[in-house]
Structure 1
Amino acid sequence: MGKVVFPISAIQFIIFSLLLPSSSLVKVQGDHIDFVRTLNKKTLDLQNEKLSHFRVFWHDIVTGSDPTAIQILPPANNTKFSFGKARMIDNPLTLNPELNSTLVGRAQGFYAFSSQHEIGLLMAMNFAFTEGKYNGSTITIMGRNTIFSEVREMPVIGGSGLFRFARGYVEARTHTINTTTSNAIVEYNCYVLHY
Structure 2
Amino acid sequence: MEKNKELTMPTLNLLSILIFIVSSINAGADHAQLNHQNSWAKRVERGNEVTTTLQFYFHNIPNGPGPTSVRIAEAAQTNSSRTFFGALMMIDDPLTVGPDPSSRIVGRARGLMGSAGLNKFTLIMAVSYVFTDGIYNGSSFSLLSINEVLRPAQEMAVVGGTGLFRLARGHVVARTHSIDAMSVAIVEYNVTIATYDYSKHPHE
- Provide TM-score, normalisation by structure 2: 0.70
Verify: 1:181 aligned to 2:182, yes or no: yes
Between the aligned partners of 2:101 and 2:76, the Cα distance in structure 1 is 32
> Which segments of 5 or more consecutive residues in structure 2 lack a partner in the other structure?
1-46, 197-204
Q: Which structure features the higher share of helix residues?
A: 2
Between the aligned partners of 1:116 and 1:126, the Cα distance in structure 2 is 25
Q: What amino acid maps onto 2:191 in structure 1?
A: C
Between the aligned partners of 2:53 and 2:76, the Cα distance in structure 1 is 38
- Shift in Å at residue 182 of structure 1? 1.6
- Shift in Å at residue 138 of structure 1? 0.3
Q: Superposed, which structure 2 residues align to 1:153-168 within 5 Å?
A: 153-168=155-170
Identical aligned pairs, as a percentage? 41
- Shift in Å at residue 106 of structure 1? 0.1
Between the aligned partners of 2:76 and 2:177, the Cα distance in structure 1 is 29
| Residues 159, 166 of structure 1: 8 Å contact kept | yes
Between the aligned partners of 1:80 and 1:103, the Cα distance in structure 2 is 34
Q: 1:113 is matched with which residue?
A: 115
Number of aligned residues: 148
In the TM superposition, structure 1's runs of 4+ consecutive aligned residues that sit over 4 Å from their partners are none
- Shift in Å at residue 75 of structure 1? 4.9
Q: 2:81 aligns with which of 42, 65, 79?
A: 79
Q: Superposed, which structure 2 residues align to 1:69-148 within 5 Å?
A: 69-77=69-77, 78-148=80-150
Between the aligned partners of 1:76 and 1:154, the Cα distance in structure 2 is 29
Q: 2:29 is matched with which residue?
A: none
Q: 2:15 is matched with which residue?
A: none
Q: What SS does the aligned partner of 1:149 have?
A: coil
> Which segments of 5 or more consecutive residues in structure 1 lack a partner in the other structure?
1-46
| Residues 76, 85 of structure 1: 8 Å contact kept | no
What RMSD, in angstroms, separates the aligned Cα atoms of the two structures?
1.1
| Residues 127, 142 of structure 2: 8 Å contact kept | yes
Q: What amino acid maps onto 1:174 in structure 2?
A: T
Q: Which has the larger radius of gyration?
A: 1
| Residues 109, 124 of structure 1: 8 Å contact kept | yes
Q: What SS does the aligned partner of 1:187 have?
A: strand
Between the aligned partners of 2:114 and 2:182, the Cα distance in structure 1 is 18
